[in-house]
Structure 1
Amino acid sequence: MYSQTTRSITVTVRPFFLEDQSSPDEAHFVWAYHVRIENDGSETVQLRNRYWRITDSLGRIQEVRGAGVVGEQPVLRPGDSFEYTSGVPLPTPSGIMLGSYQIENETGERFDIAIPPFSLDSPHQPIQLN
């Protein structure tokens, strides 16, 4: 698991490889990732937007921006958490993802919280030691 806290909001990510949805012979590798967002602060906030930077093992970068997550813009009161699962396909057997969520507090201030970088690993990635 990967975890990072920004302004008392903790984002934890757990990626897992989906062998049954992948086709290694066709350069199609699929992962799911489970995200938990916890509001450990003292103010109510709402997740407004997401940004992802996805890099495959050849260094190719894809950026994804959009409103909310999985069709929702959850409101998190102090002590609340929100969880969701999403997925990502890559043409390579490994990669890395990172990003941020844009959060809005009750006064209308918007700020970004970090999504920790996390590794997308599959058993199809050859191991290389230097």
Structure 2
Amino acid sequence: MVVAVTDGIQVSVEVTYQAEFSSPLQHHYVFTYKVTIENKSQQTVQLLRRRWEISDAAENLKVIEGEGVVGQQPTLEPGESHTYVSGCNLKSGLGKMKGYYQMEKIFDGKKFEVVVPEFQMIATIFHN
């Protein structure tokens, strides 16, 4: 698990290689990642947008941007958290992701970026 804190917002990420959905011979590797966003600040915040940078050993950098996360723009009161699971397909068994969330403080409408720490995606392939 990797963790980063920005302005009182903690982001934790856990990655799992999905061997049963992957086809290494076809250069198709599937990973899921579970993200937990915890509001450790004193202000209510809302997640507005996300930006991901995805790279692997087989291709160049891919950038994904959009509103919210998995179709949601959660609002977090102080002490609350939001967890979601998403996935990523790579052409190699080794990659990494990082990015940020654009958040807004509800009280004054101030927008700020929260770092999503870089995390590794490594296919664990077992041979008999």
Provide the TM-score with structure 2 as the length reference: 0.95
Deviation string, structure 1 residues 61-100 (Cα, Å, up to 9, x no partner): 1000000001000000000000000000001111000000
> Partner of 1:2 in structure 2?
2
Matched letter for residue 99 of structure 2: G
Q: Which runs of 5+ in 2 are unaligned?
A: none
Q: Shift of the alpha carbon at 1:44?
A: 0.2
- Matched pairs, number: 124
Deviation string, structure 1 residues 6-57 (Cα, Å, up to 9, x no partner): 0000000000100011000100000000000000000000000000000111
After TM superposition, what 4+ stretches of structure 1 lie above 4 angstroms from structure 2?
A: none
1:118 has 2:124 as partner: no
> Partner of 2:92 in structure 1?
92
> Partner of 1:127 in structure 2?
none
> Partner of 2:51 in structure 1?
51
> Partner of 1:103 in structure 2?
103
Secondary structure of the residue aligned to 2:113 is strand
RMSD, matched Cα: 0.8
Q: Which runs of 5+ in 1 are unaligned?
A: 125-130
Matched letter for residue 2 of structure 2: Y
Identity of aligned residues (%): 39
Matched letter for residue 115 of structure 2: A
Matched letter for residue 69 of structure 1: V
Counterparts of 1:26 and 1:18, CA distance in 2:
15
Q: Shift of the alpha carbon at 1:60?
A: 1.1
Matched letter for residue 115 of structure 1: V
Counterparts of 2:48 and 2:122, CA distance in 1:
29
- Contact 2:59/2:91 (<8 A) preserved: no
- Contact 2:3/2:12 (<8 A) preserved: yes
Provide the TM-score with structure 1 as the length reference: 0.93
